[in-house]
Structure 1
Amino acid sequence: MLCTVRRWLRGLEPRARVYLERGWLSRYHPWMERRALFRFQRQPLARGVAAGMFCGLIPGPLQIPGTLLVCAWLRGNIVAGGAATFYTNPLTTVPLYVLAFYLGALVMPGEQVLPAWGSVAPGGDLSVQALGAWMQALGTPLLVGLPTLGLLLAALGYATVQLLWLAPALQRKRRLARSR
């Protein structure tokens, strides 16, 4: 199955190049080519996933633009980067922020206590304003924990792509070693 995914990804590259050579994107094609933004190879894909995992923790509509900038800086694949940001959604944001708070509390000196939801939303109502107030109450541990969590997720994403890409080669090597 991994070989099939790799072949499918490699087949995307020529199609992406055709789209880049048309229209208003054609004048940016040399710059994008130098930056490897649409290369579906192991290193650009791994860098793109790492950028997307890191930038996925950026609030709201700035995730994709942030990922595009980081991919251009790291020479990562922007398709993989953009897709990797979708691990954050309304269902996962609160648990990720709680995890980031605890990571920040681990790094910071002193005891940090997670504020209760009822302290910021007296009626226990779930609203955008209550969520914003709760995130502000998380304070410095959240500000320290978000980049820490982002770096951990980026490292995990990078390593996962590297391992998945190299898995078929490692399996072939083991089979050859067993057959000898």
Structure 2
Amino acid sequence: MTRAPVGLFGRLAAWSHRNLPTRDSMERNRLLRPVAHRVLAPELWRFTRRSVPRGVALGMVAGILVPVAQTPVAALFALPFRANVPTAALTTFITNPLTTPPLWIAAYWIGSWMLRIDAHVPGQPVAEAAAQADWIPWLMQAGPATALGLLAITIVASIGGYALSALGWRLWIARKWRHRHDNRGS
């Protein structure tokens, strides 16, 4: 009899297990066929304390910066960095139809702040363009601001994802050791 997953981490683990790409699905992917021999190398599919955080960080990069084919791109990113391919591919699901619009809005705000688009400058070009209701100047300023914001979010998210997954891995191993020690003592 199998137990149902309990709590948030249990449900997350069950969802991850259901959606984790398999070696067979990666082998059948036509985009990966030219490099399948490299992507399917056994060392890229092992879950180790170094490869999993690398996979999380690379999955964040591919998930946020790459608009299409994120999973194959994450798998290709994993090759030179010896990252865990399933983790990199699964982490790309951080962006989906529900999370992408808020992500892009936040990226625009962050990029605008970093570029100081709304700062008071002589002539106030942004305010004048908005007053003329001309969309071209707005789009010309929204593009660089959004791109810079996405880059900033990607850097923070990938470093944070790496750190959190490394910490999570350490806590998980410590819990296993503690459980093993408790069982040995009884």
Deviations 1:45-91 (A, max 9, x none): 11001101111113442312321222112211110011001011111
For 1:142, the equivalent position in structure 2 comes to: 146
For 2:118, the equivalent position in structure 1 comes to: 111
**Which residues of 2 match residues 91-106 of structure 1 at below 5 A?**
91-106=98-113
**Which residues of 2 match residues 45-84 of structure 1 at below 5 A?**
45-84=52-91
**Which residues of 2 match residues 4-19 of structure 1 at below 5 A?**
none
Could you tell me which runs of 5 or more consecutive residues in structure 2 were left unpaired when the two chains were aligned. 1-5, 28-32, 120-125, 182-186
Give the residue type in structure 2 aligned to 1:157. G
Deviations 1:100-125 (A, max 9, x none): 11221232244278xx9xx89xxxxx
CA RMSD of aligned residues (A): 3.9
The 1-side partners of 2:104 and 2:117 are apart by 20
Give the residue type in structure 2 aligned to 1:28. H
Q: Taking structure 1 as the reference length, what is the TM-score of the superposition? A: 0.62
Give the residue type in structure 1 aligned to 2:45. F
> Highest CA radius of gyration, 1 or 2?
2
For 2:94, the equivalent position in structure 1 comes to: 87
The 2-side partners of 1:30 and 1:61 are apart by 19
Q: Once superposed, which parts of structure 1, at least 4 consecutive aligned residues long, lie more than 6 Å away?
A: 134-137
Question: Percent identity, aligned pairs only?
Answer: 29
Deviations 1:14-40 (A, max 9, x none): x96xx99xxx99x8269835xx42121
Q: Give 1:168 deviation, angstroms.
A: 4.2
Could you tell me which runs of 5 or more consecutive residues in structure 1 were left unpaired when the two chains were aligned. 121-133
